[in-house]
Amino acid sequence: ELPDGGARPNAAQFKQLVVSALRELHGEVGAALPVDVLTYEEKTLSAILRVISSGLVKLWSALTLLGFYQNRRCAFRVLQTSPFLLALSGNSRELVLD
């Protein structure tokens, strides 16, 4: 979330933001954590990230504690986690049964 509007990061800038958040909190070891941006929507600022299960806590903590992007306030919201990519393709709470 970027509450004050302004320029939105593109996919490459978003990936760099994730890596820099990891580096800031966990150092070079954190920055070396393999994180993939599977999808990124610039309009909604939403993304699907893939990380090994042992790196989830490092990634989540780094994103949670990141407070600024280009000297503007920002915040990350984790909407869903899953060990299976297929589970992220839909929300069972929005499923309409006939």
User: pLDDT at position 3, please?
Assistant: 76
In three-state secondary structure terms, 9 is coil
Q: Which amino acid is at 16?
A: Q
CATH classification of 11-89 is 2.60.120.260, yes or no? no
- Under the banding of pLDDT at 50, 70 and 90, the label for residue 57 is very high
| CB-CB contact of 47 with 77 (8 Å) | no
Domain extents for the chain? 11-89
- Under the banding of pLDDT at 50, 70 and 90, the label for residue 2 is confident
> Any long-range contacts for 47-53 (C-beta under 8 Å, 24+ apart)?
47/14, 48/88, 49/18, 50/85, 53/83
Distances from the Cα of 29 to the Cαs of 32, 49, 65, in angstroms?
5, 18, 17
